[in-house]
């Protein structure tokens, strides 16, 4: 399972300036600390990144970013840029979700067909493995696997 941030309000996904700065600080300060740059140059780089946050922050595209998740949890309502933003977190199966948006209101959709397909694919691969590696009681094993395919849940 993974957590995903979405906007539960008409208007659109937008972080507050403080939230953007905090994400930038968490993402880039550790990198800059490793660089042997003068202190003032590091500060100028951070100011530039703050100014360009909306262009450089991948959290606007990666809604399961760990920094984004932790900041939304820590900042609560202060993470929202304005009244047209209400950021929430939803827990969904890892890799099986998408965000659908209408007039800024977002919904996190669990892609159940993809879950079913992947589970069915795993079961078929297990069945092939059984067929290749076991010559005894194949009919019982096959019936068992077919029963699993017919009754699987996600």
pLDDT at 28: 80
Do 108 and 5 contact (CB within 8 A), yes or no?
A: no
Give, for 2, the enclosing helix (H) or strand (E): strand 2-7
Q: In the prediction, which pLDDT does 37 show? A: 78
Contact 83, 64 (CB under 8 A): no
3 touches 90 (CB < 8 A) = yes
> Over 60: is that where the pLDDT of 153 sits?
no
pLDDT of residue 45: 79
Asked if residue 28 lies in contact with residue 47, where contact means CB atoms within 8 angstroms, the answer is no
For the chain, give the percent of residues with pLDDT over 70: 81
Q: What is the pLDDT of residues 106-140, one digit of tens each?
A: 999 998 888 888 888 888 778 777 776 765 555 66
Instruction: Give the mean pLDDT of the chain.
Output: 81
pTM value? Answer: 0.68
**Is residue 149 pLDDT above 50, yes or no?**
yes
Separation of alpha carbons 127 and 76, rounded Å: 48
User: Which has the higher per-residue pLDDT, 127 or 93?
Assistant: 93
Highest mean pLDDT among 3-7, 33-37, 56-60, 61-65: 3-7
């Amino acid at each position: 399972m993974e957590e995903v941030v979405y906007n539960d309000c008409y208007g659109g996904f937008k972080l507050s300036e403080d939230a953007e700065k905090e994400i930038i600080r968490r993402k880039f300060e550790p990198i800059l600390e490793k660089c042997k740059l003068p202190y003032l140059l590091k500060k100028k780089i951070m100011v530039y990144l703050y100014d360009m946050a909306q262009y450089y922050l991948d959290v606007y595209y990666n809604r399961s970013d760990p920094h984004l998740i932790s900041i939304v949890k820590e900042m609560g309502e202060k993470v929202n840029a304005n009244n047209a933003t209400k950021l929430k977190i939803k827990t969904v199966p890892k890799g099986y979700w998408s965000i659908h948006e209408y007039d800024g209101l977002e919904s996190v959709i669990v892609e159940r067909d993809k879950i079913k397909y992947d589970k069915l694919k795993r079961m078929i691969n297990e069945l092939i493995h059984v067929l290749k590696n076991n010559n005894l009681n194949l009919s019982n094993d096959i019936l068992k696997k077919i029963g699993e395919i017919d009754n699987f849940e996600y």
